[in-house]
Amino acid sequence: MAAELQGPATSRRHFLIGIGVIAAGTAAGIQLVPRILRDPRPAADFQPHAFVRIASDEVVTVIIGKSEMGQGVYTGLPMALAEELDFDPKRLRVEFAPVDPAFNHPTLRMQFTGGSNSTLSTFDALRAAGALARHMLIAAAARQWGVEASTLRTDDGVVTDGSRRATYGSLAELASTLPAPSTPPPLKSRDRFRWIGRPQKRLDGLDKVTGRARFGLDVDLPDMLTAVVARPPVFGGRVASFDATAALAVPGVVEVKQIPSGVAVIARHTWAALRGREALRVEWEAGPGATLSTETQRAEWRALARQPGLVALNRGDAIAALRRAARTIDVEYELPYLAHACMEPLNCVAHVRDDGCEIWVGTQNQSQDVLFVTKALGIDAARIRLHTQFLGGGFGRRASTASDFTVEAVHVANGVGKPVKTVWTREDDMRGGYYRPFSLNRIRAGIDAMGLPIAYVHTAVSKPVLAQSIFAPFVVKDGIDPTTLEGSANMPYAIENLRAEVHNTGEPVPILWWRSVGHSINGFVTNSALDELAAVGGRDPVELRRALLAGKPRHLAVLDKAIAESGWGQPLPAGRARGIALQESFDSIVAQVAEVSVEGSAVRVHRVTCAVDCGLAVNPDQVVAQMQSGILYGLSAALYGEITLENGVPQQSNFDTYPILRQSEAPAIDVHIVPSDGPIGGIGEPGTPPIAPAVCNAIFAATGRRIRRLPIQAALRT
């Protein structure tokens, strides 16, 4: 099972999960047909690979190991398999995979969804599985007709010799008796793709417009109970004592019990559980977190940013270059804690029985969830079954480094003997931590007499994200968490002397990756600082970027596309201005031009022009959708998003105090996919980093006011 984490494979080579790795795959823990999929099935089912099942009734099912949280893997991944199988993807059925090594990331050896790598890390393996199935179906037809396989071809679900035709379903039973070929069948070249690269409607569309799609919160099982948990108001707090008398008197409440994270109220339905929790009396021990406040944190971190930190990168001699610079800037950029605020609040159903534990959850983190549940219950992973549901948003929150909402639900259900759904209210979710880290960044930079940057020093202060995770031993070296400086220390801009330092903080606030992780912070820092350098040097911010991206044709093509389509330089109505930002993240390059006006403290974003190079765009309309998505998610945060602390307590709790963008505030968005023969890049996250700096740079162009603290609305009020 997946629970034994071995860490990343030393080889970066992407294993083909399939027949090609029967020999090589053992070392990576890969097995051809997973344990759970060996359940008895009708003999006529042909399952040559863990990823695909072909039934005699012509139903072709693709089994995906990735979680669908809006980003479109439910459609894009099956397209890859269908392309090689030669089967129109719109007729596919899709299933979420069980937790099984067959669905592990090829190098990280875990089953999870994140890092915008679902397509790039599984594309070839899915295609290989499709090609394998097609090869064996052709072999079955050849045997049936007594002809050479080489005389046969396929056409969308049918094997034919030109006159005879046999559907895949009719060949499934025979194909299931044939041996797999000794070498993997070849894959198509890109120019022969029939469906990949053409817009394909979402395969989950129908279920999601009819209310039939089952999210975690919709899971309903016989005898199921529903729980809510009273958790400490301050991070790191504990239950001192509690009195359940009144809670137990609420009709429908069946049990109140202490668990490691608080006190659970278990009831026959959600309303009873909520009423029970209102009646529950808990005395809390606040702990050291009660001294935390955003104001003091800001002051302490600003002081830290003036101290030498751990040196993560030292290219050239940035300190000496600063001294000889013609002009310099010394500025601080501050970004707040952010909640992910998925539309579906956190939840998880668990049923702990004598024979094991069954879990139904919308999670991004299957392998780690199972591993942490083995520890919580002291049982073997083989006795845990996890059923992945649709996720009503993820954005990283459903890949919690502690599997917090899954493990908690197991604690709630343990001993109850029935399935229990643990439900988080919006307030629970928003005050539950696992935020994007609060981040303070000092930038000292200098330009030469020509206005070109010659020195750049970034001192970052924040709690490191990856260091909190199971990946920490493999990626955090000498105290440097690569996510703290991603998109800064490795920016694509050619600045000769570059120094990056970090201060790792350790406040008791759980923090987490938030859509685009460090890039959502450093995209703002880097693109804002470049804009400031352009301004002090008297250079156009686009022209300066072009100069610093010389020799990077893909970046330049993306920049030029956004500039051309946005009408950069052309007149605008009075009061409007444009701003530009470009960020490379998750192997894709995105540039955005925001068109903005400001009245008082009210910012209006009228239009965003976006250009993206993501290599091969498997499902182009979903690339467009993810750019729209990343932009609007980032814009909500840029304008409004902040979690602040007073006496350790988050001051925001619902959409009144943590506003998100509304329909009337959403700008027009034009997305342009730049044709590219580059490798497949990510698409779920790279749309987010450029929007905040593009908007802030436009605000500067419109008003002369530089926004160095997010959210924008808070900065403009001060």
Short-list 113, 53, 40, CA closest to 85 = 53
CB 564, min distance to other proteins, A = 21
Short-list 503, 529, 504, CA closest to 307 = 503
CB of 202 or CB of 458, closer to other proteins: 202
CB of 79 or CB of 423, closer to other proteins: 423
Beta-sheet strands, E only, within 155-247 = 158-160, 165-167, 225-230, 238-243
Is residue 85 within 8 Å of 60, Cβ to Cβ? Answer: yes
Task: Report how far apart the first and last C-alpha atoms of the chain are (Å, whole number).
Answer: 54
CB 307, min distance to other proteins, A = 38
Half-sphere exposure of 478 (CA within 13 A, CB side): 7
CB 190, min distance to other proteins, A = 24
CB of 57 or CB of 220, closer to other proteins: 220
CB 708, min distance to other proteins, A = 26
Q: Find where tokens 């996890």 sit.
A: 386
CB 446, min distance to other proteins, A = 38
Q: Find where tokens 């919308």 sit.
A: 362
Strand 453-462 and strand 439-447: the pairing is antiparallel
How many whole angstroms separate alpha carbon 525 and alpha carbon 443? 8
CB of 202 or CB of 444, closer to other proteins: 202
CB of 342 or CB of 598, closer to other proteins: 342
CB 201, min distance to other proteins, A = 5
Is residue 298 within 8 Å of 336, Cβ to Cβ? Answer: no
How many whole angstroms separate alpha carbon 130 and alpha carbon 194? 14
Is residue 672 within 8 Å of 611, Cβ to Cβ? Answer: yes
CB 121, min distance to other proteins, A = 21
CB 254, min distance to other proteins, A = 14
How many whole angstroms separate alpha carbon 141 and alpha carbon 130? 17
Is residue 613 within 8 Å of 683, Cβ to Cβ? Answer: no
Is residue 540 within 8 Å of 701, Cβ to Cβ? Answer: no
Distant-in-sequence, close-in-space partners of 443: CB < 8 Å, separation ≥ 6: 329, 330, 331, 332, 333, 456, 457, 458, 459, 525, 529
CB of 53 or CB of 398, closer to other proteins: 398
CB 98, min distance to other proteins, A = 22
Tokens matching residue 5: 């984490």
For 136, phi then psi, to 5°, come to: -75, -30
CB of 487 or CB of 684, closer to other proteins: 684
Strand 60-64 and strand 588-599: the pairing is unpaired
CB of 249 or CB of 299, closer to other proteins: 249
Is residue 224 within 8 Å of 267, Cβ to Cβ? Answer: no
What residues make contact with other proteins under the rule CB under 8 A? 68-72, 201-202, 204-215, 217-218, 220, 226, 251, 269-272, 275, 341-345, 390-395, 423, 425-426, 621, 625, 628-633, 636, 654-656, 660-664, 666, 668-669
CB of 451 or CB of 686, closer to other proteins: 686
Residues β-bridged to residue 646? 649
CB 578, min distance to other proteins, A = 19
CB of 344 or CB of 369, closer to other proteins: 344
